[in-house]
Amino acid sequence: MKCQECADKLDRFVDRELNSTEILEMQLHLEACPDCTDHYEFQSHLKRLVKHSCECDAAPPAFREKLRQILS
């Protein structure tokens, strides 16, 4: 695998959307390529950052209770 192909598949690798053969190819490339590994770790970190930053908003308890009343 070339670095360009690795870059093309990086989104799907980070999102766990590749098949097992593609995952293995990516893993083999990353083991041998520090630059692509750094890029992969950066993208993974960014994805985690977006998740953690945005998922802290839970529905207010009073709203949850109100909905429960309405739906029952």
Partner 1 sequence: MAESPARTAFAEEALTHLDTLYRGALRLTRDPDQAQDLVQEAYLRALRYQHSYQQGTNMKAWLFAIMRNLFWDRFKGSRKEDVSLDDVGEFVLYEKLRDEGARPEADVLDKLAASEVVTAVEKLPPLHREVVLLVDVEGFSYKDAATALGVPIGTVMSRLHRARQQLQKSLYDYALESGIVRGNGGHQVQT
Residues that bind partner 1 (CB under 8 A): 11-12, 15, 17, 38-39, 41-43, 45-47, 49-60, 63-64, 66-68, 70-72
Tell how far CA 33 is from the center of its chain: 21
Q: Cβ of residue 46: shortest distance to partner 1, in angstroms?
A: 6
Contact 38, 6 (CB under 8 A): no
Using CB atoms within 10 Å of the CB of residue 30, give its burial: 0 to 12 exposed, 13 to 18 middle, 19+ buried.
Answer: buried
Q: Cβ of residue 1: shortest distance to partner 1, in angstroms?
A: 19
Q: Cβ of residue 7: shortest distance to partner 1, in angstroms?
A: 9
